[in-house]
Amino acid sequence: KQANVAAVFTRNRFRAAPVRLAEAHLQTSASRYLVINTGNANAGTGSAGEQAALQTCQAVAERMGCTPEQVLPYSTGVIGELLPVSPLIEALPSAAQTLCPDGWAAAADGIRTTDLRPKGRSVQLNLSAGPVTITGIAKGSGMIRPDMATMLAFVATDAAIEPTLLRRLLTSAVSESFNRITVDGDTSTNDACALVATQTAGHRLIDDPTSPDAQQFSSALSDLCDDLAEMLARDGEGATKFVRVI
């Protein structure tokens, strides 16, 4: 089945090329692949940065047999330097060969920049429609403040959820988690959180936001995002204290 994908991005007015391209691709096509690079944010790079992000999507599309619009790019790292596309393209064959359902830990470690440790969480819940799993990873430790920060988060579930409801659930979960943390008061240019519903659990589609299944899923998703957000704050660059304001 085709997965449904929702994503939210930084509210910074100075948004990086991959953020703008990912938003455009989400609006034009059904997403198939996420491509993530660390070490270079591809931010403040003008038209060259936009071309680099597009070239990366085109390379993934050619290798995986989809259209460039079905690829969502994400970048994190140094701001203001041109993204070197060649190393990314050269790494694609190895990345494609190592795709696997249980690759979450490797992905969580691979997306780190200044993070001291990888960040991940997985939960299982029993809906009336059947059992489902939600798994998420995140990175970030500096330039953290509300309205998203220098962070990337990727969450997936095998549940079948209608696209509009999926985005509504993600927006709610992010507003209660990633948009409520701060480390140093700095916002960023590349922040993103994506939620993928693969629809492989084999149950009926969840499309009513008032249904018990939707509400139970929403609560579990919010708790998972809250756990990941707390990991980001605790891993803050130089942080020695963790404070939760109620």
Reported as a single tens digit per residue, the pLDDT across 28-79 is: 889 999 999 999 999 999 999 999 999 999 999 999 999 999 999 999 988 9
| Catalytic residue list contains 67 | no
Q: Which candidate, 108, 117, 134, 144, places its Cα nearest to that of 229?
A: 144
Amino acid at 82: L
Q: Please provide the distance, in angstroms rounded to a whole number, between the alpha carbons at the two ends of the chain.
A: 42
The residue ranges of the chain whose pLDDT is under 50 are: none
Amino acid 39: pLDDT: 92
Integer Cα distance of 28 and 21 in angstroms: 11
From 56, 150, 157, 187, active-site residue: 150
Task: Supply the pLDDT for residue 1.
Answer: 60
Say what the pLDDT of residue 185 is. Answer: 77
pTM of the model: 0.93
- Percent of the chain at pLDDT above 90? 79
